[in-house]
Structure 1
Amino acid sequence: MDEEVQVWLYDILQSIVEVESYFEGMPKELELYRKDIKTKRAVERNLEIIGEAANRILKKHPGFSLIDAKQ
């Protein structure tokens, strides 16, 4: 696996870890999330990072296995 792909996979992992950290010690309730604009924006940004990294990986290596990447 080339270095660029490793960096993009790391970006995906870090974004997932970051999103999970936003909810530590809190109940995961949709209404609480909807009311918390800062958390919503932070989660949205991390989803953008994940999507962009996944797109770059698939563009460079179309056969790369990223389960449910298109969703």
Structure 2
Amino acid sequence: MQPEAAAYLWDAREAAQRVTEFISGLDETGYRSDALRRSAVERQLEIVGEALNNLRRVDAETADGVPDLHRIVGLRNVLAHGYAVVDDGVVWAAASERVPELVTYLGLLLGEGPSGA
């Protein structure tokens, strides 16, 4: 893996970990009612999508293994460019159901154990 690819993976993993921190202790109702957290989660998801899109450019082979890469980048595009049509339910589902799996996978690609060590 190229050093640049590892940097993008690290950026994506760090942003994804922030998402899990930002939603910790919330349910969907709590998330929807907290504009500050919604904004923070959306920004971190944009970073995840941008980093993985850049990974795809520099190391397509590694990027091809990332589950749902096209959906992640697509969500980033909606958040960045289609902000008027952002569906909080879709963002919540991504953040609460998919991001924890992504954190684990990205950690494994970075050579870390399942616990991040």
TM tier, shorter chain?
Answer: 0.7 to 0.9
Shift of 1:66: 1.4
For structure 2, list consecutive stretches of 5 or more residues without a partner in the other structure. 72-117
Partners in 2 of 1:49 and 1:55 — Cα distance?
10
| Structure 2 residue identity aligned to 1:17 | Q
The match for 1:17 is 17
TM normalised by structure 1 equals 0.86
TM normalised by structure 2 equals 0.55
Partners in 2 of 1:60 and 1:6 — Cα distance?
10
Partners in 1 of 2:61 and 2:3 — Cα distance?
17
What percent of counterpart residues are identical? 29
Aligned-residue RMSD, C-alpha:
1.2
1:63 counterpart SS class: helix
Deviations 1:19-64 (A, max 9, x none): 111133x2x3211111101100100000100100111111222333
Partners in 1 of 2:32 and 2:23 — Cα distance?
13
Count of aligned positions? 69
Tell me if structure 1 keeps the 8 A contact 2:2–2:59.
no
Structural mapping, 1:1-71, within 5 Å: 1-24=1-24, 26=25, 28-64=26-62, 65-71=65-71
More helix as a share of residues: 2
